[in-house]
Amino acid sequence: MFVRSFYDSDGDGIGDLRGLTSRLDYINDGNPQSTTSLGANCIWLMPIDKAMSYHGYDVVDYYHVDPHYGTDDDFRNLVAEAHRRGIHIIVDFVPNHSGSQNPWFQSALRDPHSPYRNWYRWSKTLPEQKGPWGQQAWHKSPLRDEYYYGVFWHEMPDLNYKTPAVRGEMRKVLTYWLKEMHADGFRFDAIPYLVEDGERLQHSRGTHDVLRQLGKAIRAAAPESFTVGEMTDEASGVMESYYPDQLDSYFAFGVARATVQAAATGDARGFLKAVARANEKFPPRRWSPFLTNHDQSRVMTVLGDEAKARVAASAMLMLPGMPFLYYGEEIGMLGAKPDEMIRTPMQWDSVANGGFTTGAPWEPLQGDWKTKNVAVQEGDRASLLNHYKTLIHLRNANKALNIGSLALISTDDTTGTIAVWLRTSNDTSFLVVVNFGGHHDPLYMPKLPLRVSDQGYRFESLTYADPAHACTGAFISANMEAQVRSIAAQGVCVLKLRPR
Query: Annotated catalytic sites, by residue?
Result: 189, 230
Q: Which amino acid is at 172?
A: K
Residue 498's alpha-carbon distances to 362, 430, 446, in angstroms, are 53, 9, 18
CA–CA gap between residue 399 and residue 426 (Å, rounded): 9
List Cβ neighbours of 397 (8 Å cut-off, separation of 6 or more).
Answer: none
CA–CA gap between residue 272 and residue 409 (Å, rounded): 10
Q: Which amino acid is at 485?
A: R
- Residue 130 near residue 136 (C-beta atoms within 8 A): yes
Cis before 284? omega within 30: no
